[in-house]
Structure 1
């Protein structure tokens, strides 16, 4: 999980391992969570599947920034 402060909000980018079968390659589902003053304000659903946990986390943070820009 990656976190950052942005315009008074705390943003989290999440990566959740996705593997349907032991013989299938591992992918990571990306998602994001926006919080303010320790309270969750908004959370995304799954934003897509990515090849690395870092890509998934960065997509989550990107989604969070866009949400703050549009609603914050």
Structure 2
């Protein structure tokens, strides 16, 4: 999980391992969560499947920043 501060919000980028077949390399589902103080403001849901946990987390953070920019 990655976190960052952006325009007064705390952003979380999540990566969830998607292991469909034990013989295949896993992929990661990405999502984002936006918080202000201790309250959840918005949650993305699954944004897609990514090859690495870093890509999934980055996609979650990008979604969070875009949501804030469009609702600011």
Compute the TM-score of the two structures, normalised by the length of structure 2: 0.96
2:38 and 2:24 map into 1 onto residues whose CA distance is 38
> Secondary structure at 2:20's aligned position in 1?
coil
The count of residues paired between Structure 1 and Structure 2 equals: 72
Gaps of 5+ in 1: none
Structure 2 counterparts to residues 30-45 of structure 1, below 5 A: 30-45=30-45
- The more displaced of 18-27 and 40-49 is 18-27
Q: CA deviation at 1:12?
A: 0.2
> Secondary structure at 2:10's aligned position in 1?
strand
The equivalent residue for 2:49 is: 49
Q: Which runs of 4+ in 1 moved over 3 A?
A: none
2:19 and 2:2 map into 1 onto residues whose CA distance is 21
2:54 and 2:11 map into 1 onto residues whose CA distance is 15
Structure 2 counterparts to residues 1-72 of structure 1, below 5 A: 1-72=1-72
1:6 and 1:58 map into 2 onto residues whose CA distance is 14
Compute the TM-score of the two structures, normalised by the length of structure 1: 0.96
